[in-house]
Amino acid sequence: MSELHPVLTLRVLPEWLDYNRHMNDAAYALVFSRSVDAFMTGIGMGPEFRARTLLTLYTLTMTIHYRLEAKLDDPLDVVLQMLDVDAKKVHIWLEMHRGSESVATSEQLLVCVDQNLKPPRSAPLPAEVTVQLRALIAQQSHLPKPKMAGRGIAIRR
């Protein structure tokens, strides 16, 4: 995935470290969550759009695979590969890198939600966002699907 451009670049902060002196599992989720926020801005669903329309993306499912320990002040880049999109949902694959090393991955299924509704409910993605998402899928169509994508969690016997 090295040919993908980062959606987020940052360094491991002291408050993200656990008793083992490496990044806590919750901090990985935080970094992936912030990556989705950056992605949303990139596809036109940033803070101004959300405030104006009350349309947003909620995470339905998030799976994280930890590969390497990230330590204090490590530089991290998160790249995103679009896997699929339909009328309401977005399926993405995120990969966290430290240089050329893959530190962790996250597969996520996101759903468009209309917060104007009480209670908030799923809604179609805005047409202009769908166009951007489909264009991103087309740009990445030459990339292989990540081997772990869609596998879920199980004890393999």
Q: Regarding predicted confidence, which is higher, 52 or 153?
A: 52
pLDDT at 33 over 70: yes
pLDDT at 153 over 80: no
What is the distance between the alpha carbons of residues 63 and 77, in angstroms, rounded to a whole number? 18
Domain chopping of the chain, boundaries: 6-139
Q: C-alpha distances in angstroms, 74 versus 24, 71, 93, 98, 146?
A: 13, 6, 22, 7, 24
Closest CA to 83 of 110, 56, 104: 110
User: pTM surpassing 0.85?
Assistant: yes
Coil, strand or helix at 114:
strand
For domain 6-139, the CATH class is: alpha beta
Read off the pLDDT of residues 65-122 as tens digits, 9 standing for 90 and up. Answer: 999 999 999 999 999 999 999 999 999 999 999 999 999 999 999 999 999 999 999 9
So what's the pLDDT on residue 95? 98
pLDDT at 1 over 50: no
Q: In the structure, what pLDDT confidence band is assigned to residue 3 with cuts at 50, 70 and 90?
A: low
Q: Which amino acid is present at 143?
A: L
Q: C-alpha distances in angstroms, 115 versus 61, 62, 100, 110, 153?
A: 19, 21, 40, 15, 31
CB-based contact 58:15 (threshold 8 Å)? no
The neighbour count for residue 54, using CB atoms within 10 Å, is 14
pLDDT over 90, % of the chain: 91
